[in-house]
Amino acid sequence: MNEKILKKEYSKKISDLQKHNQAYYDKSDPLITDAEYDNLKKEIIYLEKKYDFLKTKGSPSLLVGFRPSKNFKKIKHKVPMLSLSNAFDKSDLINFEKRIINYLDKKNDFQIEYSAEPKIDGISASLNYKEGKFIMGLSRGDGKEGEDITENLKTIRDIPKKILQKNFPKEIDIRGEVFIKNSDFKELSKKFANPRNAASGSLRQKNPDETKKIPLKFIAYTFGYEKNMKIKSQTEYLKNLSKWGFKTNPLNKKIKGINNLIENYESVEKKRDTLDFDIDGIVYKVNDLELQRRLGNVANAPRWAIAHKFSANSAVSKIEKIEIQIGRTGALTPVAKIKPINVGGVVVSNATLHNEEEIIRKDIRIGDTVVIERAGDVIPHVVSVDLDKRKDSSKKFIFPIKCPCGFETIKEFNLVTKKFDAVRRCPDRGFDCDKMAKERIKHFISKEALNIEGLGKKIVENFWNLNLIKLPQDIFKLDFSKIEALEGWGRQSAANLKYSIDLKKTISLEKFIYSLGIRHIGLENAKLI
């Protein structure tokens, strides 16, 4: 592969990563699963290792989190809040320990003692104490700078405002996770997608009185900056946290040996569904704090800690219906309408079936009992079918050959793979396909494109149904006298929309190219044209 193509591929992956970082850290609304995010990072790091000339400032090996929100004051962490490397199986743990032993120049029979701590799926926070008094609280931010969310953190009862114990350090940053119990989340489920979103949204409230209404919890697990702390191990630190008035995870354990780590991992994973809070893995930390200091950090992660991720959250449900959705590029995506089921703290009623080939490969049918997986995130999919529960009257699902607009769908031949694509597409290249046309217009006004304030997807849908918009250019020819007469509108709201549209009559060339929704032309490629 030539250098130019490699750089394009790498830039695209970096751009995607930044987009997903923003969605996860800044908006608390992830677009992809944890597994997909981890794979994207792996792909980028693999390319960087293979081709030295690729690494940029956007590399996941250099970055932590996302830049802090503009809604809060930015403050620099005295000690950076780093991310963690991930382990997914026993071999990853063995290699992790080998690297530690080699770095410390120890013999292979050297026994490392670990603090094994379940990883709560919440929002990281750093609490600064001076002379025993809670002074300031920061979010993770980008790891170097965080948001000053002190007033919101003060509303959390689990966070001591003053600590009187004699052995409490003169100054220390206590770090931990803000979260919401699953039992408390039930009353919030109509407002938020999941407990993590609820915790994040609450901490970003401008009014602390609103945050106070949310039952936030805080579990402490580490420290950043410290002065005069006379503690020798992580487990000793955790014990002291409890004495100082902080909540710690009751499932924390001190463990030696990889096999014992695995045994504990499997034990906790079995208990996972019975816990009143979401956990997505176990963090292993070298217990000896002096060894931690010797080991130090690599780029954006400590050498002395790793997160052992759990397998994806899953549940069993029944397919009631299969619908075909048409995207702006004409792709036909099958979606299973399932009997609503709670998966990982979120009520799921839709699951993607990806494409026609996936349905054939797994022989997915209407009425099937299936395993639904969320992989800890927001995109549920069908993992497998329980054939034992399939009725004799069950019929194979026939994927439609025609688009609802009447066009015969096609599978394009991929010149790279020398195979036909798995995805069926409507061949319409204009605006004759109504479903494609609507999605194209929604893309045209999306945040990364024209980003017209007050004109969202639902309004586009409504204007389309009322024949006010049929083509992207119709947005600039809207009859605002008709709009102000619509239900929910008025003279002022129509005038505000007109003003927002007028502002977008002049935009950058790259945004305009991107807004056209040309296949394979994302924001980064649009900049190159």
DSSP string, 50-99: H-GGG--TT-TTT--S-PPPTTS-EEE-SS-----EEE-SHHHHHHHHHH
As a whole number of angstroms, the distance between CA 326 and CA 333 comes to 6
Phi, psi (rounded to 5 degrees) for 484: -70, -15
The token duo for 277 is 């809070």
Token pair of 95 as six digits: 């290699």
Rounded distance, CA 342 to CA 157, Å?
29
- Residues constituting the chain: 529
d(CA 88, CA 91): 8
For the record, the structure tokens of 495 come out as 């005038």
Q: Catalytic positions, please?
A: 119
3-state SS class at 136:
strand
Cβ atoms 31, 378 nearer than 8 A: yes
Nearest to 218 by CA among 263, 185, 248: 248
User: Residue 57, Cβ neighbours under 10 Å: how many?
Assistant: 7
Distance CA 375, CA 199 (A): 20
Nearest CA-CA partner of 30 in 196, 272, 145:
196
- Our CA angle for 198, 458, 211, nearest 5°, is 20
Q: For residues 348 and 344, what is the distance between their CA atoms, to the nearest angstrom?
A: 9
Nearest to 179 by CA among 191, 194, 192, 196: 196
Task: Record the tokens describing residue 148, joined without a space.
Answer: 């000053």
Q: Do strands 381-385 and 369-373 pair parallel, antiparallel, or not at all (unpaired)?
A: antiparallel
Task: Please state the separation of Cα 305 from the chain's center in Å.
Answer: 22
- CA-CA distances (angstroms) from residue 164 to 48, 64, 131, 216? 50, 34, 9, 24
